[in-house]
Amino acid sequence: MRVGVLGGGLLGCCLALELAERGVQVTLFDKNAALIGRAGAANEGRIHRAYMYANDPGFKTAAMMARGALSFAPFMKQFLAADSAAFETSLPAAYVVHRDSRRPTDDVAAYIRVAREKIVEAANGKPAQYFGQDISTPPRRWTRAQREAEFDAGAAVDAYETSEVAINPLALAREIGSCVLNRPKIDVQLNCEAQAAEDEGGSIAVTIERSGERIRQSFDHAVNAPWDGRNALDKSFGVSITRPRLHRLKYGVSIKLPPAATAPQSATFVSGPFGEVVTYPDWQIYLTWYRACLREVTKSVSRQIGQLAVKGPCEIRL
């Protein structure tokens, strides 16, 4: 069996590794000159459990994130060394409710209680799947004094201590990318952008553009996994677009504190135009923030979808 994986980000690379592990011959395409060079590496590395999504009243996102968080380390340990730098975790994160949060404190408190239940349910009796931690312990609500010792008293109106951590995304990208390149059953083709996929009656023909030339390759199956352009590829294969896609603009900066500095508390601010602080044991600090909440939803199938044009400090055009 031959499978074409379109997109060499973290998702595409993990799919390729899993398929190759099962004996499948994989061809992995990416339009960039290296694997996992975009969102898979440029992120805060947070392995979110379930606490982030207080705006989801049905808790479907919480349940999905809980399953993903518990699956992350066991999956990666199949391919990376036990002492991999990718498993070096940040300081545990606090969840902080900002005064301008879209959810009041009582709503966030209720959400966190149910989200914790989703995590325990997903663990299915194996509470140590999350980096060896016992996740059955519920988040602890900070006292006012604890909150005000870490944050601006006028901005942070509530906070919860959790054991949620982040990993090093650059190390993960580097090591997973190297693992993919060294798998004999994975043929990596870089600087190749998937343009279309068509049913050939029993196989799938994928059109790839490389150096201005279009090339067709046939596969038994193809996986649509690029960072952008997924709608256009779906449409080329006759898959209808039934729901809008959301595209987010997030700013981020990584800094290194001097050894004598006091490291800030790792924290996630919910829920609004805020962001996260991730503090690693080596005093590397990663700051991210969203300048605005939801601005627009689109069903466009343009190949440029996902490449946000920024005009000024906060005006976003899709």
List pLDDT tens digits, range 210-228: 999 999 999 999 999 998 8
- Model confidence at 14, in pLDDT bands (50, 70, 90)? very high
Q: Are 54 and 270 in contact (CB under 8 A)?
A: yes
pLDDT at 228: 81
Phi and psi dihedrals of 170, rounded to 5? -70, -45
Q: Are 8 and 41 in contact (CB under 8 A)?
A: no
In tens, the pLDDT along 231-251 reads 888 888 988 877 766 667 788
* CB 66, CB 49: distance < 8 Å: yes
CB 161 within 8 A of CB 143: no
Chain segment 43-84, per-residue pLDDT in tens: 889 999 889 888 888 889 889 999 999 999 999 999 999 899
Query: pLDDT above 70 covers what percent of the chain?
Result: 90
> d(Cα 270, Cα 109) in Å, to the nearest integer?
12
Q: Are 82 and 175 in contact (CB under 8 A)?
A: no
Neighbours of 121 (CB within 10 A): 11
pLDDT-derived band at 302, boundaries 50, 70, 90: low
**Is beta strand 284-289 parallel, antiparallel or unpaired with respect to 251-256?**
antiparallel
Give the pLDDT score at 310: 35
Percent of the chain at pLDDT exceeding 90: 58
**Local confidence band at 266 (pLDDT 50, 70, 90 cut-offs):** very high
What does the alpha-carbon distance between residue 150 and residue 13 come to, in Å, rounded to a whole number? 39
pLDDT on residue 292: 77
